[in-house]
Structure 1
């Protein structure tokens, strides 16, 4: 493992996880919450995303409040190895377990997942409930058969849209050079790997969510296509809290950062304290 200290409480590493070199950043608190900082693991979304979306939003704020924050680039994304194939959901789940094992994190963690990252979090909770203290889903859904159908539609739209002539110049003009660069990187992943086919062949969990037994907290925007997931989770999970933000679309993490920080921190703090009382 290559490990480089950046500033007090911040470390960046490359760790070997199976066949991958995984880019990891960890923010450790100067004063741990309750003396034994709860660990939160941040899992980002697909194609245009990376751990940077957490590094510039939730990560530093959580570390300042006493949480131990782990962020990493998913396979094929950011500075992590990009294999041509091997992108089934199960691989993303196995990668997360391997990252935790390599960093010798053995106690259950709170997994924060944005968009596809939330599906990874739900999948980990179903497959390895011993590793998960709670799932925090931001604009995300469990990996059920319905999820796979929506992913299929999303990949088809992305493939057609990003293949249009002049699309990057249009995005650059409308949304800036940074967004255009992210879109171009996402298109490269889509067209040089088997990610779309692999995810669509992933193993799903039952629609009754009976394999999910840990506490779940989910945040949605009321103008997002994900908003109906709030009621779905309530209908199928015994230990679940949801918040639907008014006048908000899919980009909750970057557009409602301050509210998201408060909501998730309070959830992690209270859930951790309750678990400690039970032990």
Structure 2
């Protein structure tokens, strides 16, 4: 565990590097989690440790305001989130070659924005249940706004703490702070949705993974229609819970993707 200063903010970062036992070196893979109650821990056992054991250099970090990263009152817009990541990579000495980005939910949205803004830093994307269309993001904002009203002045965090539910109390308190004491909702609302032209500008390989019953499948298929090197994988029986509900199948797909990235990296060096 480490605290890294990037973009004038202290970020909580975990880096996992399995010792190489011969063979091709792995690829550097950065995980980006979802909004509000999410943090890097959702990736730790599901995907990050297996990726590190497969020989990849893994970086997990808590997004601005989330988990153990500092929670400033402003700066939750897309441009700042991209700058947070790029300056974090520089602080870690990982800006000398492109990395693989794996984003879950809104973390996938941020990963795609990063690939558009800094294609030189992104070798490939895995987007897990990523909101890529305007209607879903509008619905998410409505949900966050309702949650903010419900949490404003609520005694739920203290009541949870009083009965020993410390983790739930901490998550609820964090949600209250993010939704009611920062510009997160307004900053997300000010962003523009992706367009077909945006998707056509994506030059790196993209794997979009969605649950069969997810509202995000149409956005993933729209991406695939326009992005030249994209694949959509739909996991049967799941909704927006792919990371937790379909862990085994998702892990298999991620490790296969990273293995292919290693082979492409090796071929590029030897040509």
Distance 1:168 1:245 in 2: 35
2:24·2:266 contact (CA, 8 Å) conserved in 1?
Answer: no
Instruction: Tell me how many residue pairs correspond in the alignment.
Output: 264
Distance 1:249 1:163 in 2: 29
Which runs of structure 2 are paired with 1:122-141 in the superposition (5 Å)? Answer: 122-141=112-131
The match for 1:182 among 171, 178, 196 is 171
Per the alignment, residue 68 of structure 2 pairs with 79
Distance 2:170 2:92 in 1: 32
Is the partner of 2:64 in helix, strand or coil? coil
Distance 1:141 1:212 in 2: 16
Is the partner of 1:56 in helix, strand or coil? helix
Per the alignment, residue 41 of structure 1 pairs with 30
The match for 1:193 among 182, 191, 197 is 182
Distance 1:207 1:98 in 2: 28
2:27·2:57 contact (CA, 8 Å) conserved in 1?
Answer: yes
The match for 1:207 among 196, 199, 224 is 196
Which runs of structure 2 are paired with 1:146-185 in the superposition (5 Å)? Answer: 148-160=137-149, 162=151, 178-179=167-168, 181-185=170-174
Residues 1:53 and 2:42 aligned together = yes
Question: Larger deviation: 91-100 or 197-206?
Answer: 197-206
Per the alignment, residue 6 of structure 1 pairs with none
TM-score (norm 1): 0.85
1:32·1:68 contact (CA, 8 Å) conserved in 2?
Answer: no
Could you tell me how far 1:159 is from its partner in structure 2?
Answer: 2.8
Could you tell me how far 1:157 is from its partner in structure 2?
Answer: 3.8
Distance 1:22 1:197 in 2: 22
Per the alignment, residue 57 of structure 2 pairs with 68
Instruction: Tell me: CA distance 1:214–1:166, structure 2 relative to 1, closer, same or farther (3 Å).
Output: same
2:82·2:114 contact (CA, 8 Å) conserved in 1?
Answer: yes
Distance 2:100 2:265 in 1: 12
Long gaps (5+) in structure 1: 1-11
Instruction: Tell me: CA distance 1:76–1:140, structure 2 relative to 1, closer, same or farther (3 Å).
Output: same
1:33·1:66 contact (CA, 8 Å) conserved in 2?
Answer: no
Distance 1:185 1:261 in 2: 29
Is the partner of 1:217 in helix, strand or coil? strand
RMSD: 2.6
The match for 2:111 among 117, 121, 133 is 121
Could you tell me how far 1:229 is from its partner in structure 2?
Answer: 2.3
Is the partner of 2:228 in helix, strand or coil? coil
Residues 1:266 and 2:242 aligned together = no
